[in-house]
Amino acid sequence: MSDEYLVEARGLSLRYGAKTAVDNIAFNIPKGRVVGLLGHNGAGKTSLMKALVGLMPASQGELRVLGLDPLRQREQLLAGLSYIPDVAVLPRWARVDELIRLMSGLQPSFSAERARALLKRTSVSPRDKVKTLSKGMVTQLHLALVAAIDSRLMILDEPTLGLDVMSRKGFYEMLIDEWCDGERSVLISTHQVEEIETLLSDVMMLDEGRLVLNISLEEIDSRFVALSHDPAAAEAVAAAHPLLRYRQQGQAMALFDGEPLLPLETLGRRVRPSLVDLFMALTRKPDVQATSQV
């Protein structure tokens, strides 16, 4: 294991009793990345995030976060990690400036000054009580608090769940503006694939505990081919073994892993492969996938 990566996992499996949540996966997260962790409910996203912050032991394999063993060196790890769990709750009775004081006492690498500066971006004021804030404002407050920790890795589990459009936009603007500096990385799990597609540098897709895709967005454009085609070409397209065939706004579409042996230009129009389509193609039920895959 090296210092090059902020997260390194080798042959990692996570189990709850007899149930396997994460099944023998390997990946690295380098610095300066925005990594999307995608998966349906029960795919293993939250288990993986728990393991990353030392809340769940690995049943097999090796895991290093910021060069530390998350389970055995949890205290040291949490001192330098920015983490918002999926059930993030800030104490409702607390005032914002009290939370900042509390964080200063708990987190050696927390900067109260930076937290106040970050909050100036939002409509949250230091004298507000948590219970008077909207859900969107609480989430922004939480982001400001964890972004004020001097760390190199942020872990966000479904950070914008239940927020309206404007709050989600504000959240991601703050994340890009105040966190992504080319050195620090962030791992975000979400269901809202379409919405964060352009924010990501990399994507990891989990399906039933297996890592079915781990790729940069740049590689997606060069590796996968999406074709919008004439319905009359359906047979030829099917014979070329697409990963997925589907309809988009009434238009017949096909997604291929690699360049298919087809005269694409005569069959239709080549389009940008979207993350949502790729996600659907790679994480459908095995019996459905078996019929559409090579």
Partner 1 sequence: MPQRWNDSSPIYQQLADRLAVQLLDGDPPEGQALPSVRNLASHYLINPLTVGRALQALVEQDLVEARRGLGMYVKVGARTRLRTAAREQFLREEWPALRAKLRRLGLQPQDLNWEKQ
Site size with partner 1, rule: CB under 8 A: 26
Whether residue 84 contacts residue 114, with contact meaning beta carbons closer than 8 Å, is answered with no
Identity at 71, one-letter amino acid code: L
C-alpha torsion angle, residues 185, 191, 196, 197 (rounded to 10): 100
What is the H or E stretch that residue 145 is in?
Answer: helix 135-147
Question: How far apart (Å, rounded) are the C-alpha atoms in residues 203 and 187?
Answer: 9
User: Hey, which residues between 184 and 203 contact partner 1 (CB under 8 A)?
Assistant: 194-195, 198-201
Q: Is 117 in the site for partner 1 (CB under 8 A)?
A: no
Q: How far is the CB of 126 from partner 1 (least distance, A)?
A: 24
Beta strands 210-216 and 185-190 are unpaired
Q: 152 — phi, psi (to 5°)?
A: -110, -5
> Which range in 6-14, 50-58, 140-148, 173-181 contacts partner 1 by CB under 8 A?
173-181
Comparing C-alpha atoms, which of 192, 219, 161, 164 is closest to residue 276?
192
Q: Is 91 in the site for partner 1 (CB under 8 A)?
A: no
Residue 2 exposed, middle or buried by CB count within 10 Å (0-12, 13-18, 19+)? exposed
Q: How far is the CB of 168 from partner 1 (least distance, A)?
A: 6
Q: How far is the CB of 169 from partner 1 (least distance, A)?
A: 5
> Which range in 47-55, 70-78, 91-99, 179-187 contacts partner 1 by CB under 8 A?
179-187
Q: How far is the CB of 196 from partner 1 (least distance, A)?
A: 9
Out of 14, 29, 34, 118, the only residue in the binding site for partner 1 (CB under 8 A) is: 34
Whether residue 104 contacts residue 150, with contact meaning beta carbons closer than 8 Å, is answered with no
> Which range in 50-58, 103-111, 137-145, 176-184 contacts partner 1 by CB under 8 A?
176-184
User: Hey, which residues between 220 and 279 contact partner 1 (CB under 8 A)?
Assistant: 221, 226, 228, 271-272, 274
Beta strands 185-190 and 153-157 are parallel
Q: How far is the CB of 244 from partner 1 (least distance, A)?
A: 15
Question: Residues 125-164: x/- map of binding to partner 1 (CB under 8 A)?
Answer: ----------------------------------------
Q: Token pair of 186, please?
A: 């962030």
Identity at 50, one-letter amino acid code: K
Binding residues vs partner 1 (CB under 8 A): 32, 34, 165, 168-169, 172-173, 176-177, 180-182, 194-195, 198-201, 217-218, 221, 226, 228, 271-272, 274
